Amino acid sequence: QIQLVESGGGLVQPGGSLTLSCAASGFPFRDYVMSWYRQVPGKEREWVARIGNVGAAYANSVKGRFTTSRDDAENTVYLQMNTLKPEDTAVYYCKVTMAGIDYWGQGTQVTVSS
């Protein structure tokens, strides 16, 4: 059974940092690209970053502030978020696509507010 579990969200002040984790199970983690998305109520889910064997890519809105990494031995992908802004407030999800099917975690809430 494919399972993705995000953690690490919370409340942080503008300019602060958070690190999200996504623990994966049920599939050969090292063989797949892992992606991060975020969603604000009433808006479409937005792609944030992805990481595979050849490197990482980022949305323009987070480039230079967010870094994604992975630990294939621990089947975990991370999203280090620095210099957080109020507009980064969202539920953050990790995703893997296998055979054309998207699998999502339950999400973790990040709130950036003073």
Residues in the chain: 114
Own/partner long-range contacts of 52-60 (Cβ < 8 Å, ≥24 apart): none
pLDDT tens for residues 20-60?
Answer: 999 999 999 999 999 999 999 999 999 999 999 889 999 99
Give the span between the Cα atoms of 31 and 26, in whole angstroms: 12
* Cβ atoms of 92 and 6 closer than 8 Å: yes
Question: Nearest CA to 86 among 36, 26, 12, 20?
Answer: 12
* Helix intervals (H) in the chain: none
- pLDDT of residue 18 exceeding 90, the answer is yes
- Quick one: pLDDT at residue 54? 87
pLDDT (0 to 100) of residue 42: 94
| pLDDT value, residue 22 | 98
Residue 66 is predicted with a pLDDT of 98
**Given this model, what pLDDT does residue 53 score?**
86
pLDDT digits (tens, 9 = 90+) for 56-91: 999 999 999 999 999 999 999 999 999 999 999 999
